[in-house]
Amino acid sequence: MLGVAVPSLKAGGGRVAVGGRRRPLARGREGAVRASCPHLPGRSCWRPRVPPRRPRDMPEEAGFPPAKRFRPGSGPPSRAGSFRPGGRVVMLLTPGSGGKGGGGRRQQPPLVQPSVSPYPEAVELQRRSLPIFQARGQLLAQLRNLDCAVLIGETGSGKTTQIPQYLYEAGISRQGIIAVTQPRRVAAISLATRVSDEKRTVLGKLVGYTVRFDDVTSEDTKIKFLTDGMLLREAISDSMLRKYSCVILDEAHERTIHTDVLFGVVKTAQKKRKELGKLPLKVIVMSATMDVDLFSQYFNGAPVLYLEGRQHPIQVFYTKQPQHDYLHAALVSVFQIHQEAPSSQDILVFLTGQEEIEAMSKTCRDIAKHLPDGCPSMVVLPLYASLPYAQQLRVFQGAPKGYRKVIISTNIAETSITITGIKYVVDTGMVKAKKYNPDSGLEVLAVQRVSKTQAWQRTGRAGREDSGICYRLYTEEEFEKFEKMTMPEIQRCNLASVMLQLLAMKVPNVLTFDFMSKPSPDHIQAAIAQLDLLGALEHKEDQLTLTPIGRKMAAFPLEPKFAKTILLSPKFHCTEEILTIVSLLSVDSVLHNPPSRREEVQGVRKKFISSEGDHITLLNIYRTFKNTGGNKEWCKENFVNSKNMTLVTEVRAQLRDICLKKQMSMPILSSRGDMESIRRCLAHSLFMSTAELQPDGTYATTDTHQPVAIHPSSVLFHCKPACVVYTELLHTNKCYMRDLCVVDAEWLYEAAPEYFRRKLRTAKS
């Protein structure tokens, strides 16, 4: 496999060395402090040695470029472009401390590298030694008078830990809490822990956090870290966000669907509070160096403040020719680096998915066994989200002396997991991502090119502690053709949940809601149609509002169709069972399927399988898990992912609590072994996701007659039931139905006679 086509790499645009500890400061506009930014011109070529055809032929000295043979050129989108003409700009230099680390979730520690907690005195000293501290007064003077500000700061600028404290110390929180949102729960927890330490307080008092299943706040809490989704949920019961004096939207450049909706929510809340003469709401958008103009424009030309962080220089190489086989190119690159670089320098490779990663890991291990003497040994570590937790943790352990760590990862290592010690990044430029087609309403999961932003994010993983090197397995010309930024999530997903939430907040017109990046009208319309089918909407005088059912649906942290399933379940006397099934469907699969132990898995799983489909099978697994005391040992023996199973238990408890609330008035009954009523309940709520067996033995969806197939992971894979409901359609090579339940066609017509009459009519014409 090795040595067929060699990717030859050439030096190209390198990341600008934005850092340096302290570079001379120059006076900028309006007296702001501005740092000079070196651009190193020129470029040169680098040709790696041809790798050997077979491992045992590997030459002992494969050439690797000495650093002087290349020079970094243009870097990521320059900060010059970040400035709005006439905008007030503050620039600072900060070393990279005060970052994210440490902390602990109660049920399970977050997947971050443990950090040693310094002594309290040292913490305060360290805080004061941050250059951001020198600009504290200037920064506060600006922020104090602004309703809105956009704050640009690179990784390690310390903005997320320091700014909330500055605002607190300036008394901003006297009339309301300072909220800091994060896209990920681990980040919210570890940041709260860090800031609480810095303030020398007990976590949950002055500084706290709120994430799903875990609220560590009290009446004393003035600085609150929370996930963006959590603040959005709070906005349902209080759209003016009255508790808060300031909302900081951090990591805004990631453009998660929740942050995007929050942009509109805080903007509306701010305006409303102003109109009503209430306490003003301060909004601070924090981001890496992207999309500044967009943020600033959206918030009525809010000033942009710039914080410079410490970023070690990273050299970037592109291939000379396009690579048709990026896997092969990655393999070659890894072994070229491996033969040249000291073994203490680790390599991070970005691939697209589990299968690819496992295959590549195996190949690397095989090749590494046959390397010549004198070549370092290699520890190959796969990394992806569905990998069991214990195995994920291994990427943080140091390799034994003389061993090099090679981490082969999905985009999970782009943002979610930070690994120290990475010197080399190998970027294939590919990612597996969901695309949404509003015409068909289908989500397609496909391997595609990364965006420029994403490529720079990957590159940045090489320069966390020291200078680094990034090999891009595509040409510079190809890179120039990449999309500038990843399409915001809100333009790529089904919007039913978002629309339900906006309606629950009583947004006057969801069709014209002020999104920063508007989803297409078709896209919004599709979501409205879906909610309408579920009986959530009322049309009154051109105004869309929620029905009582719709309001109840919004109370569940679930996809609308699953919320509806729960709400229908009392009618079928099976709420106990439906709560379990919905919980199982709303987390990652509890089934662990290591490909190497397939037969073993099949043997063990047999006892749970129900001919009625996946939902009932999952229910059987959950019940046995509970009846046997639900321990880890059982999980291991039965190839069940215990982490996800624990999560199912938590979700179920939360959903049950919601059902028991007064306004829900839901009896929680069990069907007592009557599986048919459970299937009827599923048929009544998922009637728009059904497929029927065709005369030729294939399946087609009932509504649009789209050809579909049973996913190989389904217990019904080898069966041919006449009619099924499914919970998800997944487009990969084919259009697959996942999580199926056998139903009676008659139940469907019974559930939605009008819908099916209409569908039949359109089918005939």
Partner DNA sequence: GAGCACTGC
Contact residues for DNA (CB under 7 A)? 183-186, 211-212, 227, 229-230, 233, 256, 258, 352-355, 384-386, 410-412, 416, 431-434, 445, 497, 557-559, 586, 588-589, 593, 598, 709-713, 717-718, 730, 732-734, 736
SS3 172: helix
Can you read off the two tokens belonging to residue 732?
Answer: 């990969």
Q: In the complex, what is the shortest distance from the CB of residue 636 to DNA, in angstroms, rounded to a whole number?
A: 19
**Burial letters for 429-439: b for 16+ Cβ neighbours within 10 Å, e otherwise?**
bbbbbeebebe
Q: Least distance from C-beta 579 to DNA, angstroms?
A: 15
Own/partner contacts of 256-260, CB < 8 Å, gap of 24 or more, are 256/183, 256/228, 256/489, 257/488, 257/489, 257/490, 257/493, 257/498, 258/183, 258/227, 258/228, 258/229, 258/231, 258/232, 259/181, 259/183, 259/228, 260/488, 260/489, 260/490, 260/515, 260/516, 260/517
Least distance (Å) between residue 623 CB and DNA: 21
Q: Which is nearer to DNA, 317 or 384 (CB)?
A: 384
Of the candidates 323, 387, 324, 333, the residue with the CA atom closest to the CA atom of residue 355: 387
Closest separation in Å from C-beta 513 to DNA: 18
Q: How far is the CB of 493 from DNA (least distance, A)?
A: 8
Contact 112, 100 (CB under 8 A): yes
Whichever of 347 and 498 has its CB closer to DNA, that residue is 498
Minimum gap (Å) between residue 361 Cβ and DNA: 14
Q: Give the nearer residue to DNA in terms of CB position, either 43 or 605.
A: 605
Nearest approach, Cβ of 258 to DNA (angstroms)? 7
Closest CB to DNA among 329 and 357?
357
The DSSP secondary structure of 678-691, one letter per residue, reads HHHHHHHHSTTSEE
Minimum separation from the CB atom of position 649 to DNA (A): 15
Q: C-beta of 111: minimal distance to DNA in Å?
A: 8
| Residue with smaller CB distance to DNA, 143 or 496 | 496
Residues contacting 611, CB < 8 A, separation 6+: 715, 719, 742
Spatial separation of the C-alpha atoms in residues 613 and 717, rounded to whole Å: 10
Question: CA dist 232 to 229, 238, 261, 262, Å?
Answer: 5, 10, 8, 6
Neighbours of 121 (CB within 10 A): 9
Q: Which is nearer to DNA, 18 or 743 (CB)?
A: 743
| Structure tokens that stand for 209 in this block | 């956090």
Q: Are 616 and 673 within 8 A, CB to CB?
A: no
Interatomic CA distance for residues 325 and 712, integer angstroms: 27
For residue 147, the tally of other CB atoms under 10 A from its CB is: 15
Nearer to DNA, 314 or 587 (CB): 587
Which two tokens mark 461? 């993983």
CA dihedral 722, 725, 730, 734 (to 10 degrees): 10
Listed residue (236, 232, 266, 242) closest to 552, CA to CA = 236
Question: For DNA, which is the closer residue by CB, 539 or 598?
Answer: 598
Distance, CA of 519 to CA of 99 (rounded, Å): 34
Q: Which is nearer to DNA, 138 or 589 (CB)?
A: 589
- As measured in angstroms, the least distance from the Cβ of 683 to DNA is 21
> From the CB of 720, what's the least distance to DNA, in Å?
7
Nearer to DNA, 427 or 559 (CB): 559
Cα-trace Rg, the chain: 27
Q: CB 48 → DNA: shortest distance, Å?
A: 29
Q: Within a 10 A sphere around the Cβ of 65, how many other Cβ atoms? A: 18
- Nearest to residue 222, comparing CAs of 174, 163, 187, 170? 174
Taking the least distance from each CB to DNA, the nearer of 78 and 589 is 589
Choice between 559 and 577, CB closer to DNA? 559
